[in-house]
Amino acid sequence: MAESGVEVLCVGTELLLGDILNGNARWIAEQLAALGLPHYRQTVVGDNKDRLVSAVREASQRCRVLVTTGGLGPTPDDLTTDALAAAFETPLEERPELWLEIQRKLSAGGRPVAPSNRSQAFLPRGAEVLPNPKGSAPGMIWSPRPDFTILTFPGVPSEMQAMWTETAVPWLQAHGGATGIFVSRQLRFSGLGESDLAEQVADLLASTNPTVAPYASLGDVKLRLTACASSADAAAQMLVPLEAELRRRTGDHCYGVDEDSLASVVISLLKQQDQSLAVAESCTGGALAAALTAVAGSSSVFQGGVIAYSNAVKQGLLGVSTDLLMTHGAVSQPVVEAMARGARERLNCDWAIAVSGIAGPGGGSAEKPVGLVHLALAGPHGCEAWVHRFGERRGRAAIQRLSVIRGLDRLRLRLLAQV
């Protein structure tokens, strides 16, 4: 008898080679948790029919529902449907209505309908169609035996997600064996290390429902709050006092929730205060401006910036004096302050962030090693500067990213102080 649970099987040699990040598995795992479905195992198998057959048969002995992604296309290496049929010794049957639908979709996009596309119209005998509203590859819902059901999805994330929402969710809610409804919320923190945060909330980490779990990434720490109840509203209400307590303990270190970013929070605060921002960047090469402009609606407060990589640009566009550059060097507090003041004045903004540093891997010295970054913030009440030593071992990309994070966080804290 199969266990009550869901497994995920992702198909594709490109996943095993690392050519593609397996974001589908993560997304499906989040959706299963939200539905309250127990999920104990994920498997990745390459484009090999024998190995797929073996993986499916093994999963059928452990779980109640198997969710697959990938391998539903028309090319010879798209083997998922064939392998599933073979695993349970079931013949494939053509569905004429599917073939007509596939032809309609492909011809509407102006693409020629290759004969190989016809293979997508074949499903195991007894399988139900899982419609694909965004692509040509249909999925299926198939129970090859009473206690085991397979749901198949293409590997294209947008297609898989649409199919999941429109068809799979209602089926899983009715037949998946949910133990309750899970609701999660993610709190985001800056300026606080994972170990420091864990110490501050150590007693809450032991909670069983709701639970608190820490996650760390470069320059960013997160706490995932999860509650399980009989309804989504009840689970969400369980998180309210927990979030309030976490915010009380961590203060301004908590900068946002869920999909918030430091850039989106800064943009929101600027809008609330009817203020504007410019940037002057050297070692980050435009990454700070890119983070800001990635936020929809940022144009209402973000004026623009100067990528002042050379001293000539620092002088010509930002008004940094030759004396400062000669005396202190481009990576120094006096120069980065002058960059910030110059950007604020010349772009006529309330605030300006400036950054200059040595991102490496070369260019460092004993006095100014790789990882040394100077930041400055010019605003209505003057100019402040900070120095960070991120260390050369982090690498160039990490040093640049940390510079962006620290710059945005400095401005966030100053804007909060004005509220």
Q: Please tell me the least confidently modeled range out of 225-239, 247-261, 292-306, 400-414.
A: 225-239
User: pLDDT value at position 10?
Assistant: 97
Asked if pLDDT for residue 386 goes beyond 60, the answer is yes
Q: Which two tokens stand for residue 124?
A: 């195991």
User: pLDDT value at position 3?
Assistant: 55
Q: Please tell me the least confidently modeled range out of 29-33, 100-104, 110-114, 187-191.
A: 110-114
Q: Within 146-214, where are the H helices?
A: 157-163, 169-175, 194-200, 202-205
User: pLDDT value at position 331?
Assistant: 97
pLDDT single digits (tens) 88-103:
999 999 999 999 999 9
Percent of the chain with pLDDT strictly greater than 90:
82
CATH topology classification for 181-257: Alpha-Beta Plaits (3.30.70)
Could you tell me if 36 and 182 are in contact, meaning their C-beta atoms sit under 8 angstroms apart?
yes
d(CA 205, CA 71): 40
User: pLDDT value at position 109?
Assistant: 67
Where does CATH 3.40.980.10 sit in the chain?
6-175
Asked if pLDDT for residue 296 goes beyond 90, the answer is yes
CATH topology classification for 6-175: Molybdenum Cofactor Biosythetic Enzyme; Chain A (3.40.980)
Determine the average pLDDT of the residues in 329-336: 97
Q: Which of 117, 120, 123 is nearest to 91 (CA)?
A: 123
**Options 3.40.50.1370, 3.40.50.1100, 3.90.950.20, 3.40.50.2300; CATH of 262-418:** 3.90.950.20
Where does CATH 3.30.70.2860 sit in the chain?
181-257
Q: Which two tokens stand for residue 306?
A: 């100067």
pLDDT single digits (tens) 341-366:
999 999 999 999 999 999 999 999 99
Query: Taking the chain, what is the end-to-end CA distance rounded to the nearest angstrom?
Result: 61
Of the spans 31-35, 107-111, 167-171, 383-387, which averages the highest pLDDT? Answer: 383-387
d(CA 110, CA 258): 39
Q: Which of 259, 260, 265, 292 is nearest to 409 (CA)?
A: 265
Determine the average pLDDT of the residues in 9-37: 91
Where does CATH 3.90.950.20 sit in the chain?
262-418
Q: Which of 43, 41, 50 is nearest to 15 (CA)?
A: 43
